[in-house]
Amino acid sequence: MKDTNTLIAELSQDVPKKSTWQRAPMKFGAKLVAVLAVYGAAVQYFLGLRPDLSMQFTRPWFDFEIFLLLTLALSSVIAAVIAMYPDAYQKPGWLKLPYAIFITLAVLVISQLGMPLDARMVMPESGAHAMECALCIGSVAMLPSALLFGILRQGATVRPMQAGAFAVLASSAIGCLTLRLSEANDSLMHLASWHYLPTLIFASAGALIGKWLLKW
Amino acid sequence: MVTSHRVTSDKYAELTALFRAGLAGDTVNYNRFLQAITPIMRRAAGKKLPPADAEDALQEILISIHKARHTYDGERPIMPWLLAIAKFRINDSLRKAYAGSRRECVNIDELAESLVGVTESHDGNESIEEILKDVPEREQRILTMMHVEGYTAKETGKYLGMKESAVKVAAHRAVKKIREAFGS
């Protein structure tokens, strides 16, 4: 290692080569959300809507689930953007929000397992597709994950695992949301096993990818 | 004195002003900013790392601050930003130090000749107790736990009721004493 004073002199001379990144995270996050919303709409157009969607929206639990998926996607995008700053833009609360929403979602699904079935819920026959849902969520999540990782690499995160998890969680939430609006299947076991558990696994994989990809 | 772009209630306003001037391309003020934060960062690194590693960590921190400078806009207090980077790099250094100490191993074949010499020599340094006799009891315990019994610094600290960094400093001092005793 060279002398610290020499290092400081060298770094001082390098200043004009890199312009300051005057990026307000909330504005940038909002722009990113807009881009991802367009992507989500395109995916939804491709997947189509379930025929009984308007009836499903009369079920409060379904509404709440959709609301949680929307907020999960939104909060994860914002949390990923915040995580790009070493000091989390001094808004650490945003980094906890996706976890809180995901836990609420899990509690919502688990608590419904013990409730009597609503006649409006669609229960497919056993042996209906399962793994395909996880694969669909994963496929939908790939492009936005790549975009978010690309953006995250421009920052200087000091929490690469968390940032990676948020990026994939946001993308997977888009996959879950679009699939939930297109697939006529309200089996809670199916949702837990093939929608939300894979989302958790993808987010964990995102954390590992983040550790490797977001080094600086 | 640098003209501040914006009045801030931050008690490190002078530092922020220097940094902002530096970000605008003022190399002199950027240099002053780096000089000003160096003792702060050196103290932060020195608290967690032994002196030999602290200077390396300090340089890593300065480079990282320089690399991440585009993520600071001068609109928020500067110290949390600086210390977040410092903590990140100090933890990196600690991780590297642990990984290095775990990987360090010696091929027993390479020691064959010297081991024969050790068993045949009668210079009074055969036993570990002999080597450690001039080291204080607490440091003896630390060295024995870390280098004979295979505990990590964290585990040793937990057992002895000490901070991990204090264990490492104590171990470093003990090794230094032993080296001095052996004249190497």
Percent of chain B scored above 90 by pLDDT?
23
Q: Which domain holds residue A135?
A: 22-48+69-113+131-213
Q: What is the fold, at CATH topology level, of the domain defined by B13-102?
A: Rna Polymerase Sigma Factor; Chain: A (1.10.1740)
Supply the pTM of this predicted model.
0.74
- Any B CB within 8 A of A85 CB: yes
A11: in domain: no
Cα(B124)–Cα(B131) distance, rounded to whole angstroms? Answer: 9
- Asked if residue B164 lies in contact with residue B154, where contact means CB atoms within 8 angstroms, the answer is yes
Here the tokens at position B116 are 């024969």
Predicted local distance difference test score (pLDDT) of residue B116: 61
pLDDT computed for residue A16 by the predictor: 63
Burial class (CB within 10 angstroms; exposed 0-12, middle 13-18, buried 19+) of B10? middle
Q: Does the beta carbon of B8 lie under 8 angstroms from any beta carbon of chain A?
A: no
pLDDT category of residue B60 using cuts at 50, 70 and 90: very high
Q: What letter would DSSP give residue A49?
A: -
When pLDDT is averaged across residues A123-143 and rounded to a whole number, the result is 87
B66 → closest Cβ in A11, A86, A155 = A11
Query: Is there a contact between A18 and B70 (Cβ–Cβ < 8 Å)?
Result: yes
- At residue B11, does pLDDT exceed 90? no
Residue B2: band (very low, low, confident or very high) from pLDDT cuts 50, 70, 90: very low
B183 close to A (CB below 8 A): no
- Looking at per-residue pLDDT, the higher value among B131 and B85 belongs to B85
pLDDT of residue A177: 97
Locate the domains of chain B by residue range.
13-102, 125-182
* Per-residue pLDDT, B8: 47
| Mean pLDDT computed over A174-199 | 94
Give the C-alpha separation, A121 to A119, whole Å. Answer: 5
Given a cut of 60, is residue B4 above it in pLDDT? no
pLDDT band at A139 (very low <50, low <70, confident <90, very high): very high
**Mutate which: A1, A2, A7, A8, vs B, most B CBs within 10 A:** A8
Q: Which residues of A touch B88 (CB under 8 A)?
A: 86, 158
Does residue A23 belong to the interface with chain B, where contact is any CB pair within 8 Å?
yes
Contacts for B154 with CB less than 8 Å, ≥ 6 apart = B164, B167
For residue A125, is it within any domain?
A: no
Convert the pLDDT of each residue in A23-68 to its tens digit: 688 888 899 999 999 999 999 999 999 999 999 999 999 999 999 9
Does A195 score more than 90 pLDDT?
A: yes
Residue A105 lies in a domain: yes
- Candidate from A12, A86, A88 with C-beta closest to B31: A12
- Of A159-168, B15-24, B123-132, least confident by mean pLDDT is B123-132
Least confident among A138-142, B13-17, B123-127: B123-127
Most confident of A54-58, B67-71, B162-166: A54-58
**Residue B35 token pair:** 């000089």
Q: Is residue A26 part of a domain?
A: yes
Over residues B71-94, the mean pLDDT reads 91
Interface test with B, best of A6, A27, A87 (most B CBs within 10 A): A87
Q: Report how far apart the first and last C-alpha atoms of chain A are (Å, whole number).
A: 19
Over residues B92-108, mean pLDDT = 76
- Residue B7 predicted with pLDDT over 90: no
Chain A residue with Cα closest to B62: A8
> Which two tokens mark B150?
């295979």
CA pair distance A199, A179, nearest whole angstrom: 12
Q: Which range has the worst mean pLDDT, B45-49, B97-101, B146-150?
A: B97-101
CB B47 within 8 A of CB B61: no
Cα-Cα-Cα-Cα dihedral sign, residues B111, B114, B117, B123: negative
Range B125-182: architecture per CATH: Orthogonal Bundle (1.10)
In this prediction, residue A113 carries a pLDDT of: 86
Predicted local distance difference test score (pLDDT) of residue B181: 75
Query: ipTM of this predicted complex?
Result: 0.84
Chain segment A67-113, per-residue pLDDT in tens: 999 999 999 999 999 999 999 999 999 999 999 999 999 999 999 98
Around A20, how many Cα atoms within 13 Å sit in the side-chain half-sphere? 14
| Mean per-residue pLDDT, A166-184 | 96
Specify the higher pLDDT residue, A21 or B132.
B132
pLDDT band (50, 70, 90) for residue A210:
very high
The count of structural domains within chain A is 1
Q: Which residue has the higher pLDDT, B126 or A41?
A: A41
